Each structure stands twice: as structure tokens, then as C-alpha cells.
Amino acid sequence: MSGSKNSRWHFSRLKRSQVAVLGASGGIGQPLSLLLKNSPLVSELSLYDIAHTPGVAADLSHIETRATVTGYMGADQLGAALKGCDVVVIPAGVPRKPGMTRDDLFNTNATIVATLADACVTRVYKVMKKHGVYNPNSVFGVTTLDIVRANAFVAELKGLDPARVNVPVVGGHAGKTIIPLISQCTPKVEFPTDQLSALTGRIQEAGTEVVKAKAGAGSATLSMAYAGARFTFSLLDAMNGKEGVVECAFVRSEETECKYFSTPLLLSKNGIEKNLGLGKLSAFEEKLVAEAMDELKGSIKKGEDFVANMK
């Protein structure tokens, strides 16, 4: 990402925007909404969930920052929650418990996201109809947490300031499909083979590390909220005309044999300005990409079949 966390949390101030959080009462939704409320980039915060949203909105509305906050609750208020929004963030879903894989929750969470996405599409139908296209450049699977974790873990091992570390992470967002490109890290770092392998494994299984540590009380919520906010701020910065904003995200792609793949993306007012691709990979990373393909293709097919069979 361009701009940094002292720079990473530096905001462009050209324009403030309306952001909707769908799933705002949940474990990720509440801290994410708090971070968004704290940003000068956000002028209006629209919070939606199936329960408790009026209370979350009332609580956040007492914070002395510019964003106005409105809570919407229940399916009949979803359309109103989306009206006029520039960015829609969807943290809604059910968390993992110990022993569960992300795949175990697929049907439940896919149904939740599909229902919300359907409402988003209905809301922007006039815009889509006017342009005559569905625009894949404005739909992102947010994998930022993998980058955030990679940055933190590399910084910890090397004694660096995490705010100045940037590790691209490509592929998907589950297990071995999470591929940290340590060879492309800035600043440049090197690890012995065994340490590199262990570091890669920790990044890939970091979500499970949190699930186990929470011992049945949920999955990664606070770090995910941070990552979701970071991606949203990057998107808003780019929409406001800031140049050189780069984030990794899982998008429609022609960079590999997979239809969808996460790579670094140059963002602009229109979403994806340019897919920056995989770049130069080490032999170790090439092997990781090759080994991830079958699982990633299977996950993509499962998602496509789910949508095709939706009633």
C-alpha cells in the first residue's frame, strides 16, 4: 500500500465519502465501524445488521469525529442502508470455532454474503444499466489481513518497524493458498530455508492460531477489523485521486490459470487501475503457487456452483 501507517494511516482529505458496513453489530463489524468513524475520509457511516444496530450506531455517534452515523436493522431496511453509499464493506458472517476450517462455514457465510450482494446489485442497477456492464474492477475479496500478518511477523523476526514493512501476499485466503512473497518484501529481508518455511506456515495458519488462542470464543476479529479499515482507507484515498495506492485483493484475474487470484493492484477512482501481477518469484514461491492451484480452483468452482444453484 502506498502511504503507510503513519504513512499507512495518513489520509487524503480531498473528499469525504459515505461508507456502509453490512454486519456492523458483529465481532468484526463493531471495531471496523469504530475505525471508520475515526477517519476524516468518511462523512457518513451507514451501519446495517439483523440485530443491535441502533445501539451500535448510538454508541458510535457520541464520538467527536465528523462522520454521521445511522443504524439500520432487518432486511426491510437494507435498501435504505445502501442508498448513496460510495463503498460497501461486508464483514457479515459466522466465525470459526476450534477444529473448523473456513470451508466448514462456506454454505452459511456464502448465503449471508450472497443475500447482501444481491441487495447491493439491486441498489446500483440503474448505474449498471446506464453503463451496460457489470464492473469487476469494483468488487474486491479483502485479503489484507494476510498482508498485515506477514508484515507483523517479518518485522518481529527482523526487529523492524512493522509500519515500514510491506510483504505482498498472493493467491487466496485459506491455508496453503495464502502465498507470502517474502522475496519481494520491502525492505529486503532474507531467511534461512527452515526459518522461511516456518514463517510461511505461520502466515498461512495465523487464523487458526487465533481461533485456538480464543478457545471457542471466536476467530480473528480485531486484526480483521484493522485490515478491513486499511483496505477501505486505501480505496477511498484512490477514489479521491491519490496516486500510487497499491493493495493486494482477491479479484477476477488473468494473471494465472485461476479465474480469481489475489495479487497487488494499483487502485484508482474507478477501482482497479492495473493488476500488477505476481512479479519475479523465487523458486520456493513458484512451488507454493503451483501447489495452491488445485485447491484454489476447487474453491472457485464451489463458489460458482453455489451462485448457479441459488434460488
Q: Was 71 annotated as part of a binding site?
A: no
- Can 10 be counted among the known catalytic residues? no
Q: Is 6 annotated as a binding residue?
A: no
Answer yes or no: is 74 a known binding residue: no
Residue 27 labelled as part of a binding site: yes
Helices 283-308 and 106-123 meet at what angle, rounded to 10? 70
Quick check: 185 and 167 in contact, CB under 8 A?
Answer: yes
Taking a C-beta distance cutoff of 8 angstroms, is the pair 285, 163 a contact?
Answer: no
298 annotated binding-site participant: no
Residue spans of the chain under pLDDT 70: 1-14, 16, 123-134, 311
Residue 49 is labelled as binding a ligand: yes
| pLDDT score of 2 | 43
Q: Is 25 flagged in the annotation as binding?
A: yes
Cell 512479479 locates to: 279
Task: Indicate the Cα dihedral angle 114, 264, 232, 302, nearest 10°.
Answer: 10
CA dist., res. 37 & res. 164, Å (int) = 25
Q: Rounded to whole angstroms, how far apart are CA atoms 90 and 29? A: 8
Is residue 107 marked as binding?
A: no
Letter for the amino acid at 252? Answer: R
The beta strand positions in 97-151, using DSSP E, are none
Which candidate in 10, 52, 62, 173 is catalytic?
173
Please provide the distance, in angstroms rounded to a whole number, between the alpha carbons at the two ends of the chain: 39
Cβ–Cβ under 8 Å, residues 142 and 102: no
Cβ atoms of residues 185 and 74 within 8 Å: no
Domain ranges of the chain: 17-134, 141-309
CA 192 to chain centre: 31
Query: What is the chain's Cα-based Rg?
Result: 19
Distance of alpha carbon 28 from alpha carbon 25, whole angstroms? 8
The CATH class of 141-309 is alpha beta
pTM of this structure:
0.90
Helix (H, G, I), strand (E, B) or coil at 106: helix
The CATH label, of 2.40.30.10, 3.40.50.720, 3.40.1120.10, 1.10.1040.10, for the domain at 17-134 is: 3.40.50.720
Residue 243 and residue 12: Cα distance in Å, rounded?
11
- Was 26 annotated as part of a binding site? yes
d(CA 162, CA 143): 18
Per-residue confidence (pLDDT) for residue 14, from 0 to 100: 47
Asked if residues 302 and 106 have their Cβ atoms less than 8 Å apart, the reply is yes
Residue 309: the pLDDT is 87
* Sequence-separated contacts (24+) of 32-35 with Cβ below 8 Å: 32/89, 32/91, 32/224, 32/225, 32/228, 32/229, 33/60, 33/69, 34/60, 34/63, 34/225, 35/225, 35/226, 35/229
